[in-house]
Amino acid sequence: MLRIALDAMGGDNAPRNEIDGAISALRAANNRFEIALVGQERKLKSELASKDAGRLNLSIVHAEDVVSMHDAPAAVLRTKPDSSIVRALELHRDHVVDAFVSAGNTGAVMAASTLILGRIPGVSRPTIGSNFPNEQGVCILLDVGASVDCKPQHLYEFAVMGSIYAAQIFNCENPKVGLLSVGEEDTKGNEVTLAAMELLRRSNLNFIGNVEGRDILKGKAEVIVCDGFTGNIVLKFAESVTGLLKKKIKDYAAESLPKKIMAGIISGPLRKILGDMDYQKYGGVPLLGVNGVTIIGHGRSTPLAISNMILKAEEMALKKVNERIANALRPAVKQS
Amino acid sequence: MLRIALDAMGGDNAPRNEIDGAISALRAANNRFEIALVGQERKLKSELASKDAGRLNLSIVHAEDVVSMHDAPAAVLRTKPDSSIVRALELHRDHVVDAFVSAGNTGAVMAASTLILGRIPGVSRPTIGSNFPNEQGVCILLDVGASVDCKPQHLYEFAVMGSIYAAQIFNCENPKVGLLSVGEEDTKGNEVTLAAMELLRRSNLNFIGNVEGRDILKGKAEVIVCDGFTGNIVLKFAESVTGLLKKKIKDYAAESLPKKIMAGIISGPLRKILGDMDYQKYGGVPLLGVNGVTIIGHGRSTPLAISNMILKAEEMALKKVNERIANALRPAVKQS
Complex ipTM: 0.90
B276 in reach of chain A (CB within 8 A):
yes
The predicted structure's pLDDT at residue B276: 63
In this model, does residue B61 exceed pLDDT 60? yes
In this model, does residue B336 exceed pLDDT 50? no
Min mean pLDDT across A40-44, A204-208, B259-263 is at B259-263
- DSSP string over A94-142: TTS-SEEEE-S-HHHHHHHHHHHH-BPTT-SS-EEEEEEEETTEEEEEE
Q: What is the pLDDT of residues A80-127, one digit of tens each?
A: 999 999 999 999 999 999 999 999 999 999 999 999 999 999 999 999
Instruction: Looking at the structure, tell me whether residues A84 and A197 fall in a common domain.
Output: no
B254 in reach of chain A (CB within 8 A):
no
Instruction: Looking at the structure, tell me whether residues A194 and A311 fall in a common domain.
Output: no
The predicted structure's pLDDT at residue A333: 47
Closest Cβ–Cβ partner in A216, A240, A266 for B218: A240
Instruction: Looking at the structure, tell me whether residues B244 and B271 fall in a common domain.
Output: yes
Q: What are the chain A neighbours of B180 within 8 Å (beta carbons)? A: 233
Distance from CA of A219 to the nearest CA of B (A): 10
Closest Cβ–Cβ partner in A230, A241, A276 for B233: A230
Q: What are the chain B neighbours of A182 within 8 Å (beta carbons)? A: 145, 148, 228-229, 232-233
Q: Which helix (H) or strand (E) holds A316?
A: helix A303-318
The predicted structure's pLDDT at residue B59: 96
Place B227 in a pLDDT band, splitting at 50, 70 and 90: very high
Q: What is the pLDDT of residues A3-34, one digit of tens each?
A: 999 999 999 999 999 999 999 999 999 999 99
Q: Give the chain A residue whose CA is nearest to the CA of B276.
A: A248
Instruction: Looking at the structure, tell me whether residues B109 and B135 fall in a common domain.
Output: no
Min mean pLDDT across A39-43, A71-75, A309-313, B101-105 is at A71-75
Instruction: Looking at the structure, tell me whether residues B162 and B139 fall in a common domain.
Output: yes
Residue A135 lies in a domain: yes
Three-class SS state of B165: helix
Tell me how far CA of residue B88 lies from CA of A44, B69, B315, in angstroms. Answer: 72, 18, 19
Q: B56 lies in which domain range?
A: 1-123+289-336
Q: Give the chain B residue whose CA is nearest to the CA of A264.
A: B266
Q: Which helix (H) or strand (E) holds B100?
A: strand B99-102
Instruction: Looking at the structure, tell me whether residues A146 and A30 fall in a common domain.
Output: no
* Mean pLDDT for chain B overall: 92
Give the residue-averaged pLDDT of A317-334: 85
Instruction: Looking at the structure, tell me whether residues A194 and A76 fall in a common domain.
Output: no
Share of chain B above pLDDT 70, in %: 96
Instruction: Looking at the structure, tell me whether residues A43 and A163 fall in a common domain.
Output: no
Domain tally, chain B: 2
Cis peptide before A331 (omega within 30 of 0): no
In the 8-state DSSP scheme, what is residue B120?
A: P
CB contact under 8 A, B182 and A262: no
Tell me how far CA of residue A124 lies from CA of A115, A158, A232, A290, A294, in angstroms. Answer: 13, 10, 19, 10, 17
Q: What is the pLDDT of residues B163-216, one digit of tens each?
A: 999 999 999 999 999 999 999 999 999 999 999 999 999 999 999 999 999 999
* Mean pLDDT for chain A overall: 92
Closest Cβ–Cβ partner in A216, A248, A265 for B276: A248
Backbone angles phi, psi at B79, to 5 degrees: -80, -30
The predicted structure's pLDDT at residue A37: 98
Tell me how far CA of residue A39 lies from CA of A69, A89, A307, A323, B186, in angstroms. Answer: 16, 12, 18, 29, 32
pTM: 0.91
Residue A331 lies in a domain: no
Place B53 in a pLDDT band, splitting at 50, 70 and 90: confident
Distance from CA of B173 to the nearest CA of A (A): 24
Instruction: Looking at the structure, tell me whether residues A200 and A90 fall in a common domain.
Output: no
Q: What are the chain B neighbours of A252 within 8 Å (beta carbons)? A: 269, 272-273
Residues 75-114 of A with CB under 8 A from B: none
Output the domain CATH number for residue B273.
Answer: 3.40.718.10
A240 in reach of chain B (CB within 8 A):
yes
CB contact under 8 A, A244 and B191: no
Q: What is the pLDDT of residues A186-216, one digit of tens each?
A: 999 999 999 999 999 999 999 999 999 999 9
